[in-house]
Amino acid sequence: MELDLAGAELKAVLNRLRRAQGQISGVIRMIEEGRDCEEVVTQLAAASRALDRAGFAIIATGLQQCLTDIEGGRQDGEDREAMRARLEKLFLSLA
């Protein structure tokens, strides 16, 4: 299953990942500076949410692509079941 993100989808995922990257850098800095535990955990939770949202956006795109493939008759029953299982596993990995 290839990931085919285009235009706005790609931009949204990359923005979320960049936001998470900045938040993680901030968390590292906060720990190095000996900042308050509550502040650190709050920023870490925000980074985690940003990563989760990026993952869900990628999975949603994958689901949409798979549905298009199935509706277009490009996958037989066995392939559909294998694809469903793979997507379920991916989805649960973020849960």
pLDDT digits (tens, 9 = 90+) for 32-81: 999 999 999 999 999 998 898 888 887 777 777 766 666 666 655 667 77
Is the separation of the CB atoms in 54 and 20 below 8 Å?
yes
Angstrom distance (rounded) from CA 15 to CA 37? 27
pLDDT at site 73: 60
Q: Which amino acid is at 72?
A: G
Q: Is the pTM of this model over 0.75?
A: no
| DSSP class of 36 | -
| DSSP class of 60 | H
Q: Which of 42, 57, 78 is nearest to 5 (CA)?
A: 57
Q: Which of 70, 66, 73, 69 is nearest to 90 (CA)?
A: 66
